[in-house]
Amino acid sequence: GGGEDGDGGGAAGDIEYKELLEFENEQLKQQVHCPIIKEKPKSVILIKCGHAFSREAIDKRIADRARKCPACNKAFSDYDIKPIYLTW
């Protein structure tokens, strides 16, 4: 009787684990990166609504006179923009 009935799922388990890590990595990137400028990290928060974006995305909204949160459309002023500091 060859050992074919044994565990033998090593390669398949490694693939599943790698896929899980890739999925979790993408989830973390989505949480950290700006939803508007995806290659930039979130660096400011709009304190009226709590949504976070990159400074560049918010600066563009200000330059375009579109002072509403891209996520919920709540109006904001310069005083509502606060930096956030992500630590690792």
Q: Which residues contact 48 (CB under 8 A, 6 or more apart)?
A: 69, 74, 75, 76, 80
| pLDDT of res. 30 | 78
Pair of tokens at residue 15 = 């693939």
| pTM for this model (two decimals) | 0.71
Provide the residue count of the chain: 88
Distance CA 62, CA 54 (A): 13
> The tokens 């709009």 sit on which residue?
46
Distance CA 65, CA 57 (A): 12
Can you give the pLDDT of all 88 residues of the chain as single tens digits? 544 445 555 788 888 989 999 988 888 877 889 999 999 999 999 999 999 999 999 999 999 999 999 999 999 999 999 999 877 6
